[in-house]
Structure formats: C-alpha cells, structure tokens
Amino acid sequence: MSHGDHQLGIYLSGMLEGKTPELTTDLAGLEERAREVLSPEALGYIVPSAGSGSTARDNRAAFDRRKIVPRMLRGVDRERDLSCEILGTRLPAPIAVAPMGVQTIAHPDGELATARAAAAVGVPYIHSTAAAHSFEQVAEAADGPRWYQLYWPTDQDVCRSFLDRAKAAGYTALLLTLDTTLLGWRPADLDRGYLPFLTGTGLANYLTDPHFQGVDNPIPHWAQMFPNPGLSWDDLPFLRRHWDGPIVLKGIMSADDAKLAAEHGMDGVVVSNHGGRQVDGALAALDALPAVAEAVGDRLTVLFDSGVRTGADVVKALALGARAVLVGRPVLYGLALGGQAGVEHVLRCLMGELDITLALSGYSSQHELSPSALA
C-alpha cells in the first residue's frame, strides 16, 4: 500500500457507495471552511499571526515562489514506502503534528482528539506545554508515538517536573521552543483582550503539576513563570542532565544558531518562525531552510514548519533539506471541523498528496530529493 491509495479509496466510495468526503480534500482550502465554525475568539487566536501578518504571508509566498520540476520515465516504484526514522521514532511518512496549545478552543476534545488521530495514522503527536489536556490524559487517550514540546518556565523545579512527567508518560523526544519566551504582538487577540490562559484554559500541565498544588493563585503563578527571555545557550546542559532522549531546538532561523545548536550537543533543529505568530517581519521559514540544512544537515536532524499546507509543500521543504515537516494550523482546522476524524482526514490527505506528488515528479521516495528537484 502507498499513501496515495487513499485517493482511490475516495473515488471508490464515491462511485460505489455514493459517499463523498465530509471535508474538502483541498487542504489549502480548509482554512476558509474552518473560519465558518470557529468562535470569533478561537478564530482570532488560531488563524491570524503576529503584527501585520507579513511573515505569515511570506511563509506561503516562499512556497508559491518555488516550483517542482517533474521528471519523466524514471521507473517509479508502483508501491512506494515513505516511512523513515526520525529522532528514534518510526514514521509512516516524513510528517508530524506540530505542537499547538489550547486545542479545546477549536474543539471540546482538543488534544485528545488530535493525539488519537495522529496515533491512528501513526505520525508523532507533539504535546505542547500550553496544552488544555495534561501529559497523562493524552497518554491515556492515545497510544501512538509522542514527543514533548517544552516552554521553559523560569521555575526550574517546574521545568524538571515537566521533563519527568513527560518521560514517565512515554514522550520520547523533546523539542525546546525558543521563539516564544514572550508572546508575540498579536493584534487579533489584543483587540479582543483575549488570552485563554488567563482563565486557566491551556494550563493543564501546570495546574496538574505537584508544584502547583496548594498554590493560592495558580494563574498569576503561571503568569510570572512563563516569560523567560533570559534563556541562553548556557542553560542547555540542564536539559541534557534531565532528559535522556533526543533534544531538538524549535525556532532556529539562522545557520549561525544552527551551528551553535550542534556545538551544544543538540540532536536537531526545527526551522520555524512559529507560523508567523512571533516576530512579524522575520524572514519566511522556507527561505531560512537551505542555509540551515547546508550548515548542519550532516550532523543534526533538520525539521521544518511554518506554512506547510499541501503535499507539494512537503516535497519542497524536503528538497531544500528538511528530513520531515511539522504541520500546524491545517490540523486545527481539521479538528475544528470534524474532531478526531477531521484531523485524520487532514493527515491522510496530506500523506496521500505527498506520495502522489513525489511519484508524479519522478521519485520513489523522499530520500531521492535534493534542491535540484526544484526549478
């Protein structure tokens, strides 16, 4: 079986049973549909980006600017295997679900539905520190590959506790997000005065932590430990001491920082500008990717996110040196529109479109891609 067989399955359901997909297979078009079902607050939190939105637009423009050059008559395998090993985890395709907080604002099942969908498809679910369900609740709900994304709190005891709990609950790789030591300037939320954390939504990991028990005012307690702009390269050895799996730095946008990550013994980087939600005016993530891949691709696992919407986008990011991509908002759009089934739909369509685009471009697997696959 190839992931692209999902396409035939859809056609057969249509022609033999008269059944059409509940959600559109046009993954780039999902946002429009999701806008119709999200509450105004959730829409404002999920869809727009920081500042004027210029970086978010550039993320997309960078994909649109690059073009695949399909090659012909290359004897592509009839059955294609896109599986790969990333950070010690076997993936069915080079795709993982990006860490995203407060998923209950998109759908009441939130992270539980997303994790179940990821497990059903076999791709890693990455648990955000800012999740609306705890490490343990997610682990209980879904038995798939799972990684943990850390927002490093200034309280080192809480930090250690998060690492211990993640490990105990079966999260195998750690992603440290570097681009959000403070929240970016987000006009859509500011204009509504909307920040879900201030009513406790998105604080499940914190509020269930032993270090929060008996605290009189847990939300102000969280609010004073979240901002951490003082974080520096010197802090990384602490993570090594308290986490024995792979460690990946998320939010790397320059070759110089990527080299520092390698010098500091990290296992990987995620080239990402947080989907344009943090530094408005930052360069497109895809434009940052080639230099990072060139600098550390032979030493570190280079992952990518920010702007991936279609299978063709995945091909482009892989051609420019990413080993795998994380997919962000489209997963939340699927979640908002159809809960667990909606997320499964998004992942299966993305893997199907990736497989078909690869095959039609002349490749039997992503391992054959290089920058020369693009014009």
Binding site for ligand FNR (CB under 6 A): 45-46, 98-101, 128, 130, 149, 177, 250, 272, 274-275, 277, 305-308, 327-329, 332
Residue placing its CB nearer to ligand FNR in the complex, 28 or 360 = 28
Q: Which is nearer to ligand FNR, 2 or 278 (CB)?
A: 278
Q: Which of 133, 274, 345, 367 is catalytic?
A: 274
Which residue reads 């159809």 in tokens?
A: 338
Give phi and psi for 168, each to the nearest 5: -65, -30
Is the CB of 295 or the CB of 326 nearer to ligand FNR? 326
Q: How far is the CB of 123 from ligand FNR (least distance, A)?
A: 14
In whole angstroms, the minimum distance from the beta carbon of 76 to ligand FNR comes to 28
| Shortest distance (Å) from residue 149 CB to ligand FNR | 5
Give 56 or 359: the residue with its C-beta nearer to ligand FNR: 56
6 among known catalytic residues: no
Rounded to whole angstroms, the Cα distance separating 136 from 27 reads: 31
In contact, 359 and 81? CB cutoff 8 Å: no
**Dmax of the chain from CA atoms?**
69
- Nearer to ligand FNR by Cβ, of 91 and 325: the residue is 325
Phi/psi for 114 (5° steps) reads -65, -45
CA dist 162 and 141 (Å) reads 19
Rounded to whole angstroms, the Cα distance separating 50 from 97 reads 21
Minimum distance from residue 71 beta carbon to ligand FNR (Å): 28
If we measure between CA atoms, which residue out of 338, 264, 332, 268 comes closest to residue 302?
268
In the complex with ligand FNR, the residue whose CB is nearer, 17 or 36, is 36
Cβ at position 232, least distance to ligand FNR in Å: 19
Helices (H), the chain: 5-17, 30-37, 40-46, 54-65, 110-121, 135-141, 156-168, 187-190, 204-207, 218-225, 236-242, 255-263, 285-296, 311-319, 329-361
Q: How far is the CB of 309 from ligand FNR (least distance, A)?
A: 7
Q: How far is it, in rounded angstroms, from Cα 182 to Cα 368?
A: 39
Q: How many CB atoms neighbour CB 336 within 10 A?
A: 25
Count Cβ atoms below 10 Å from residue 198 Cβ, excluding itself.
14
Active site residues: 274
